[in-house]
Amino acid sequence: MSRIGRLPVVVPTGVQVDLVGSLVHITGPKGEMKREFSQAISIAFENGQIAVTRSSEEANVRALHGMTRALIQNMVTGVSQGFTKVLEIDGVGYRAEMDGNNLKLFVGYSHPVIVEPDPGISFDVDTKARQIKVSGYDREVVGQVAADIRKVRPPEPYHGKGIHYLGEKIRRKAGKAGKGKK
């Protein structure tokens, strides 16, 4: 039995769960999410908990068991608390600012790069700490938007300038050693 798959998903108060066959619809204070799951996995909601069980011991069904439970847990956490990714900007003159709902990045190009938020995503910029917070209720979308922002100017290995995740270790290179003697 899957260690993750056998754990029940506890549904907090204020979150509503609707199950129609293999379609799961979860509504909470931050938003609502729908997702269709495989027919080989059965999902039950009772006593404020969602239980995920599998129908057989085939390898592909066993693989779906833990993943299905993790996706449902992310849906419940997202609509109740939300998810946040924090990015840092390093480099002389590199900065970010808000332009309405859009994010405007000044990262060494001849023009500012404007990032428009996807539906359900919001940006928050701390200019003192040079940090960008990407927030939303869908974990996959939050991670993808943060990755797209990082891709605008990834950290380079010689000086470490660029956009990186908070706490990310940038692998540094030594650079030139200088002229050798003849």
- Mean pLDDT over the full length of the chain: 92
Rounded-to-integer distance, Cα 82 and Cα 138, Å: 7
pTM for the model stands at 0.88
Residue 1 has pLDDT above 60, yes or no: no
What mean pLDDT comes out for the span 14-18? 93
CA 103 to chain centre: 17
What mean pLDDT comes out for the span 25-47? 93
Bridge partners of residue 6, in order along the sequence? none
pLDDT digits (tens, 9 = 90+) for 140-175: 999 999 999 999 999 999 998 999 999 999 999 888
Residue 9 has pLDDT above 90, yes or no: yes
pLDDT tier, 102 (very low <50, low <70, confident <90, very high otherwise) = very high
Helices within 37-95 (DSSP H only):
59-80
pLDDT digits (tens, 9 = 90+) for 52-97: 999 888 998 988 999 999 999 999 999 999 999 999 999 999 999 9
pLDDT tier, 179 (very low <50, low <70, confident <90, very high otherwise) = low
Instruction: Look at the block and give the residue holding tokens 């100017």.
Output: 153
Nearest 10 degrees: CA dihedral of 65, 80, 139, 108? -170
Specify the pLDDT at position 174.
86
Specify the pLDDT at position 65.
92
CA 86 to chain centre: 10
How far CA 102 is from CA of 71, 85, 106, 152, 154, in Å, comes to 29, 17, 13, 15, 20
What mean pLDDT comes out for the span 123-130? 93
Q: What is the DSSP letter of 30?
A: S
Nearest 10 degrees: CA dihedral of 113, 78, 83, 139? -60
Residue 177 has pLDDT above 80, yes or no: no
Specify the pLDDT at position 151.
97
pLDDT tier, 11 (very low <50, low <70, confident <90, very high otherwise) = very high
138-149 burial code (b ≥16 CB/10 A, e <16): bbebbeebbeeb
